[in-house]
Each structure stands twice: as structure tokens, then as C-alpha cells.
Amino acid sequence: MAKSPMTMSFTPPPRRPKGESIVPMINVVFLLLIFFLMTSRLAPPEPFEVEPPRAEEGAEAVETPVLYLSPEGEAGFEGARGEAAIAAFATRAQAAPGAEAPQLRADAQTEAAEVARVLKALTEAGLSEVSLVVAPR
């Protein structure tokens, strides 16, 4: 048997066609993610702006249901207004027994009679404890 000579090829191997890069798509996904994070709200907005009355001392507020009271005496809780807001607030506060007392945030310009009326309505709805939130001086 005769041996055949060994041949060696020094030509570079053929290149595979270059595929599409996914880097631009990743960039777009991250830009969209940043956009949605910057424009989203993690907490529901307050139904109306309330400036709480001032106090000398106070503790920091804890996450509990919050009922808002406008200067005109209108109650607001999440999306509800008026008596519906008071009922929804009382229901939510009673659903979490043992938690911190639910909060009432009344505007500094709200009449004391309106605050008393809302507190009476909350008592009639079954709440025995409500914290009135005030701002430090």
C-alpha cells in the first residue's frame, strides 16, 4: 500500500454570516423600563391637597388607612368622596385589627365642627380609635 501525501490547507476557514445584534433591542427595553418607572406612581394620589394643622411634638406616621378632610369639610378616601369615603375608610380600618390606628388628615382651615361631625360618623361606623395627623411647627 502506498501512502498518500498529507495535504494541509492554510486558507482561513469560511466565516459564518454575521447575525443581527440584540444590543439595540436591549437598550430600547431599558429605556422603556426607565420611562415607566419615572412616570408611574407607587402610592395612590391624595383626593385633594390638605395642609395639616401644626403641633409642637409628634411621632412619625405609619402606613395605615388615611381619611382626608378638605377645608370645606368634604371627606375623601382613595377614589370615594363624602359619606361613601367615610364608609369605605371605616370598612378598611376594621379589616386590619391590631394595626396602628387609622388616620384622619384634616386641613388646618377645616372647622372643628366638621372634624367632630366626621369623628362622630366614624364612631357610628364602628371605629373606636382614630389618629388626627398634625404637622410639626
Residue ranges of domains in the chain, CATH in brackets: 54-136 (3.30.420)
Q: What is d(CA 42, CA 49) in angstroms, rounded to the nearest whole number? A: 18
**What is the pLDDT averaged over residues 22-51?**
87
**What is the pLDDT averaged over residues 32-41?**
89
**What is the pLDDT averaged over residues 13-34?**
89
Q: pTM of the predicted model, to two decimals?
A: 0.55
Q: What is d(CA 104, CA 87) in angstroms, rounded to the nearest whole number? A: 14
How distant, in Å, are the alpha carbons of 4, 6, 32 from that of 37?
Answer: 70, 65, 9
Q: What is d(CA 120, CA 134) in angstroms, rounded to the nearest whole number? A: 19
Per residue in 85-129, pLDDT (tens digit) is 888 888 888 877 666 778 888 888 888 888 888 888 888 888 888
